[in-house]
Chains A and B, each alone.
Chain A
């Protein structure tokens, strides 16, 4: 049908740069009465978007259903690549529809822990809720310690953060700390072991920390020997 032909041609998008060499109207397009002079935005926009950090997640979520359906429609001519953000349906709604279509139970709203963030959960014994921190936001143990102290200040009543970083070299001081009711931070590393925070260099910690738990010193005492062991091993 002429109408459909017009549809296909008319919907090819051209985006012309002012005065640039790319502003070429292909004769085929203009023959069908397309008055526009854009070059295709499709690839341009998709490439730009996926090159930017952090947009990958969003585009993956939105793009996934499109990719699936592009393949499964043999009767029609190959569907054109979808334009970013068109039709204007919110991601939230698109994700809901995707879930219904695939009847999958995966979370469509994945965490923003895509490129670059190192999100770990932080729990504190006795607090009714968890928090999350992005370890990449901090440059040192002190930074992290200050942030955690602030986050949980209403629970610790000053019993955390004041003493600063744990001094692993001073064994007696360490033991005192672990015998007290002060809070100390511990973490679960890649191997699944719970360690005292501060035993490895900061960068190594960021790589291996999976989860944080702030516990009373007296409870952390079981961690100390292993912490000392690993500490010495890493230092030498």
Chain B
């Protein structure tokens, strides 16, 4: 007998304090069955005689409200049907790691009161031109389905999705309470779409455009925000490659008293930044824009930039420096001591410019930079930043055969000085096993280890040996490791280590590595937590792929490009695993008898293969 679901009252947003039993019963506006005279339930009493399930579900609702973590919620929903139902009603934030794992309809059928959606689209290797454009990951079907189902939607957080201006327009029109829009690595829209959101989402608190491609439609979107005081808490547009109306921006910042995070694009000059800072000393996170002069610097009355920074006592997170004039860098001295996060990864600073700055940053926990700071700069980081948790060093010159100013020397220094390191991304041209082994011993808290030796198949540059032992030590000693990216010359041995010790690994990135199918087999057979596997240009073939069939339903996706897979094998797997979508991307269309698979992208799906696949995608 189907039971009416207990409905929460309209203005209960899942965060309100628990309702007592009686008010929960009274608040049910939708009960239609005559059996449900729940108003009679005395408060406090858990009468299990007449309506046991209703009482239970009420209690459950009040309890499950407190569950935030999605793994907890997923676990709760598996207990029994009743729990499943109540959990579905009380979940307000949903995370979808692969937009093609299910259809929007399924989402709205199961969860009725979603306020917040996190949705991820394209696989990460698409960032590196390994996938033709227009592959998919369209936001359109999601927004149109949610427009009808979730009128109270407040937050949308998208990563690697294709979002059009029309989608943004629909979003702005459909959700009157919309508060947060976060677009990370997205594309397909322009400043006109942003303008619509700015104009129509009157309750907007967060508008974060992060590393997205935003086309310049020559729209003054900053002026499109409403005239009165805004609710803005965070505005990030550092990736928008279009000039902005500074006067309008200044006015916007002036009428946004709650603004804490502001990330400017490179079209905001140093003088303009200065003016903004004087008007917004409450900022906690600042992206400084270009950090350089307009073309005509006034040498007479140069503004006191340091004073502006001095006034910003709350800034703990600093980024930007998109066109840095290094002579002005000392202006940030006043905030260094408070910084917990510093992003210099677009600033070509030399060690000499850098060292005086970092010397003051004792509290730094997150640090991103270019390798232009050299090993010397890394030594300085190691000497000062004892609290460092996350380090990312990007190459200023991202070519295989470039100079490479950082090496094992810098890595070693960091491992000595920053014992609390949890996450590292390190691009370099040369590395040694010894340094990597030392890091594995010094930094037991590492959960993310991504080392990119930029020359393909490059061995330990001192011993000439493969990098097997270094990566082996990482998986062996870093017992909390969940994410690993390998590089350099690697044999099957490295993968043997991964399979043996990498028991917590969830994400693995492999490029130009391994000798044979055995390598991949070690990983597929040995890493029970593996969720995301991305492999390129490695000699893994059908035997290896087949060896993982027991895993694929438990994984989010597998990407293999330029390996040694045949269409026949992929077809076999697709047939054997009906809930797995097996996409073969990019093979030449006119050579149908060609059995070679250029790119394989496969993922589990509850709703079968997608209907929007472009011509260059074959779903087996």
Contact = CB atoms under 8 A, between A and B. Distances in A.
Bound pair (A, B):
yes
B455 interface: yes
Given A11-B458, A36-B515, A91 B195 contact: no
Interface string B260-302: 0000000000000000000000000000000000000000000
Nearest to B165: A131
B539 A16 contact: yes
Given A11-B457, A129-B199, A109 B215 contact: yes
A86 B511 contact: yes
Interface in A80-113: 80, 82-94, 96-97, 99-100, 107-109, 111-112
B190 interface: yes
Centre residue among A18, A79, A82 by max chain B CB count within 10 A: A18
Interface stretch (A46-54, A162-170, A228-236): A46-54
Contacts of B588: 48
Contacts of B199: 128-129
Interface stretch (B53-61, B390-398, B521-529): B390-398
A94 B239 CA distance: 13
Contacts of A58: 129, 133
Interface in A108-135: 108-109, 111-112, 121, 128-132
A76 B400 CA distance: 13
B557 interface: no
Interface in B559-575: 562, 564-566
B398 A54 contact: no
B595 interface: yes
A11 B425 CA distance: 22
Given A13-B456, A86-B400, A96 B346 contact: yes
Given A18-B566, A89-B398, A132-B217, A59 B129 contact: yes
Interface size for chain B: under 10, 10 to 19, 20 to 34, or 35 or more residues? 35 or more
Interface stretch (B79-87, B218-226, B309-317, B352-360): B218-226
B584 interface: no
Interface in B154-205: 165-166, 169, 173, 185, 190, 192, 195-196, 199
A15 interface: yes
A84 B130 contact: yes
Contacts of B125: 85, 88
Contact of B127 (A18, A90, A96, A154): A90
A206 interface: no
A20 interface: yes
6 contacts: A41-B562, A87-B395, A88-B509, A93-B346, A121-B218, A130-B192
Interface of B: 125, 127-130, 132-134, 165-166, 169, 173, 185, 190, 192, 195-196, 199, 211, 213-219, 221, 223-224, 239, 241, 322-323, 345-346, 348, 394-401, 427, 452, 454-459, 461, 464, 489, 491, 509, 511-512, 515, 536-537, 539, 541-542, 562, 564-566, 586, 588, 595-596, 598, 616
Name the 3 nearest CB pairs between A and B, nearest first. Answer: A85-B128, A129-B195, A89-B398
Interface of A: 2-3, 6-7, 10-11, 13, 15-18, 20, 34-38, 41, 45, 48-49, 52, 54-55, 58-59, 62, 66, 69, 76, 79-80, 82-94, 96-97, 99-100, 107-109, 111-112, 121, 128-132, 151, 154
